[in-house]
């Protein structure tokens, strides 16, 4: 674990020194929360802010998770990844360090969004409900960051990764259950949303908020995360830069 902790510490130091990046990552989720959660006259729920908050939390983790590939891309372009791969520490330390850093960073950002939601009128829940919410967000963050770091190994430059990032993130968000319940969706959108990993996380958080224990969604996210991480480990063991 020592090597993993060193890589996490390195990325945290780099993150907190880039103050613009720290605040800019919160602009879009906060804007969605405030201007959509409070401004739209939605009729299918009594408190749309409570309904949309889980979607915005998952969107925050989505953005943080996919940006994990950007970190690896810059290490590759600047030549740091070559040096890390040549170190005697296991290669998996690099991968696990990136995944854990990105997931923890996403949880910090999600916490800020959650505080904003409560301040502008979202409901306050029990410590157990918040704990389960963080567990779901962490599992989702691991899934996304493992996928993004693996993808970054196969792309040649930052512009390519940014294009793929945009191509993935927006369709995933808008075809999820983030903005509306299944019963008001068109049939084609309902089908896509039910298969969307974002919907698994969003529906799980909404179930937790309602007092239920969404074991199916939690187990599904855990299995997906394990499978994608295992694939990432195999790719990292064979990669040459």
Q: List, for residues 55-104, the tens digit of each pLDDT value.
A: 999 988 988 888 777 777 777 777 777 777 777 777 778 888 888 888 99
Helix (H, G, I), strand (E, B) or coil at 213: coil
Q: What is the number of other CB atoms lying within 10 angstroms of the CB of residue 17?
A: 9
Mean pLDDT of 111-123: 87
Portion of the chain with pLDDT greater than 90, in percent: 19
Q: Kindly list the domain boundaries of the chain, sorted by start residue.
A: 2-238
Confidence of residue 130 (pLDDT cuts 50, 70, 90): very high
Asked whether the predicted pLDDT for residue 208 surpasses 90, the reply is: yes
The pLDDT of residue 37 is above 70: no
What is the overall mean pLDDT for the chain?
83
Where b means 16+ CB within 10 Å and e means fewer, 64-99 reads bbbbbbbbbbebbeeeebeebeeeeeebebbbbbbb
Residue with the two structure tokens 């409560």: 118
Element (H, E) at 68: helix 48-78
Token pair belonging to 48: 């749309």
Q: Measure the CA–CA gap between 3 and 6, rounded to whole angstroms.
A: 5
pTM of the model: 0.88
């Amino acid at each position: 674990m020592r090597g993993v902790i060193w890589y996490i510490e390195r990325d945290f130091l780099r993150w907190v020194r880039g103050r613009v990046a720290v605040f800019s990552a919160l602009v879009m989720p906060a804007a969605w929360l405030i201007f959509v959660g409070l401004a739209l006259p939605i009729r299918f729920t009594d408190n749309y802010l409570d309904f949309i908050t889980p979607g915005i939390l998952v969107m925050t983790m989505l953005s943080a998770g996919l940006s994990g590939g950007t970190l690896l891309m810059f290490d590759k372009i600047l030549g740091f990844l070559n040096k890390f791969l040549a170190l005697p520490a296991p290669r998996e330390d690099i991968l696990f360090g990136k995944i854990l850093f990105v997931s923890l960073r996403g949880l910090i950002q999600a916490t800020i969004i959650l505080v904003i939601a409560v301040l502008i009128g979202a409901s306050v829940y029990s410590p157990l409900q918040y704990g389960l919410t963080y567990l779901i967000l962490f599992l989702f963050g691991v899934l996304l960051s493992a996928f993004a770091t693996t993808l970054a190994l196969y792309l040649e430059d930052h512009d390519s990764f940014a294009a793929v990032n945009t191509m993935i993130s927006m369709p995933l968000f808008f075809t999820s259950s983030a903005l509306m319940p299944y019963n008001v969706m068109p049939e084609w959108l309902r089908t896509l949303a039910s298969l969307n990993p974002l919907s698994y996380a969003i529906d799980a958080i909404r179930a937790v908020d309602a007092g239920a224990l969404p074991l199916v969604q939690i187990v599904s996210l855990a299995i997906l995360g394990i499978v994608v991480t295992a694939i990432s480990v195999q790719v990292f063991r064979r990669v040459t830069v």
